Amino acid sequence: MDERLSGVRRGPMAAGDWVRLTDAKGRRHNICLEPGKKFFTKLGEIAHDELIGSPEGIVVESSLGGQYQVFRPLMFEYTSSMPRGAAVIYPKDAAQILTFADIFPGARVLEAGAGSGALTTYLLRAVGESGLVSSYEQREDFAAIAERNVHQFFSGPHPAWRLTVGELGEAVVDEEVDRMVLDMVDPWVHVDLAGRLLAPGGILCVYVATTTQMSRVVETLRAHGEFAEPAAWETMQRGWHLEGLAVRPEHSMNAHTAFLVTARRMAPGQRALAKKRRPAPGAYGPDYAGPRPADLTE
């Protein structure tokens, strides 16, 4: 595999590489190395030429004595700090999507919307050059940002990526896919499309922010009938403060960002087995506007 397509660079830092400078207080600066250029901070300047040709993991000193450790950014660091139009999918959620949607080398993945390109970057590394990521983004400005971010990470166009600007239902090409990832306000609108495009055994993964969105997409999948029982969850990430015997949870954490919903496509014409459940009183009361299961009492 072409090393460029992994987004990973080995060996000495070179012109064109993005690197991250971090000071003793944890403040970070991302710069693209260019011969002859200088990086300026309140602690003085650092010549890019001092970094070009050096290995990662060095400590450099600015002209006024400020010290910085230098590494190439990891993928999660890059996607968290990339320029953005739409909000990016956080690394904790991207990792869950890659795992529970079972994104594999060679997979054919449909993604909507592309946003700022963070999840696209993870998907492209996972499918590799033998796979295909078809990204749909309805806003031209967001699509342009996503394209710049993805090209920057992979040092140019990725052969497995196809970006289309337009509404998913209108722009989508009717071709079978293995996985479908929807990051949009109204994903339930496209459940029928998912049923048409997903290969038998394929996985639909939906990323939504609110409980009402989560409920509606799950009930729509159940009403469709040809998706195995949906699963829904959220992931919270909490760091720990470690200093001598002062070991405690961090005061802040990456708590709720979104809910993830996954469901698996049955073979065409095959109905998923309905889960035997007795709903809570009022679960489908007069104020409920979504689809209702055919049998609520078995």
**Annotated binding-site positions for S-adenosyl-L-methionine:** 116-119, 137, 183
Distances from the Cα of 27 to the Cα of 67, 70, 182, angstroms: 11, 12, 34
DSSP category for residue 188: G
Q: Which amino acid is at 236?
A: M
The bridge status of strand 177-183 relative to strand 108-112 is parallel
Angle at 166 between CA 91 and CA 221, to 5 degrees: 65
163: helix, strand or coil: strand
Describe the crossing of helices 91-100 and 118-127 by its angle, rounded to 10 degrees: 40
- Residue 41 pairs in a beta bridge with 44
| Residues 31 and 155: beta-carbon distance below 8 Å | no
Binding residue ranges? 116-119, 137, 183
| 115's tokens | 């946003």
| Residues 227 and 218: beta-carbon distance below 8 Å | no
Place of tokens 């595999």: 1
The sign of the torsion formed by the CA atoms of 264, 267, 273, 279 equals positive
